[in-house]
Amino acid sequence: MDSLARAAAEREEFDKVVVRTHFGDDQAWAAVLSAAAESWGDDEDQEDEGFESTTYPVDDPSLAGVPLDQLRDTLASIDEYLSVVFIADEETMRAPHHALLAVNLDDEPNFLDEEGSAFGRQFRIVPRQASGVHVNLALANMDFTDWAQTAKAHPDGIFHDFD
């Protein structure tokens, strides 16, 4: 897990961390990184151009098949300023939208939706929007649940944008 420690030490404050855990398709990985580099926000943000998106990619074959909880716990213990990590797993690589798995790194075991049901600490998000989650959590502008609830409400269970 040296690559995760390197990510914690080298990433810039507003770099989101995207960890690759599936290594069967290099073209899909390139597509994920390309989409993650797109500016984020809606059309009214920053003079219609969106906000800059930066990524610290972790492309380490030794992370293939590492359990999600182990990745989460490792990153949470070595980077106290990182609130969320984005996982490019097999589902990410195979789906046409390449939705990443956004995983909350805080200590809350679950979150409750409006009905009082626990819906977990992770959700899927299109790569273009991942920087928005990371930056807003880093600035304490929003909570993880703001995105998770929106993803849960979408028919495909993926965060595409706030509607």
Supply the pTM of this predicted model.
0.89
Q: Map out the domains of the chain as residue ranges.
A: 2-159
| CATH architecture, domain 2-159 | 3-Layer(aba) Sandwich (3.40)
- Give, in order, the Cα–Cα distances in Å from 139 to each of 104, 133, 134, 136: 15, 10, 9, 5
- Give, in order, the Cα–Cα distances in Å from 59 to each of 5, 20, 25, 52, 89: 13, 5, 12, 22, 12
Give the pair of three-digit tokens for residue 16.
Answer: 């989101």
Model confidence pLDDT, tens digit, residues 96-112: 999 999 999 887 655 65
Model confidence pLDDT, tens digit, residues 4-43: 999 999 999 889 999 999 999 999 999 999 999 987 765 5
**14/33 Cα distance (integer angstroms):** 16
Q: Which residues contact 88 (CB under 8 A, 6 or more apart)?
A: 18, 19, 20, 21, 22, 29, 32, 98, 100
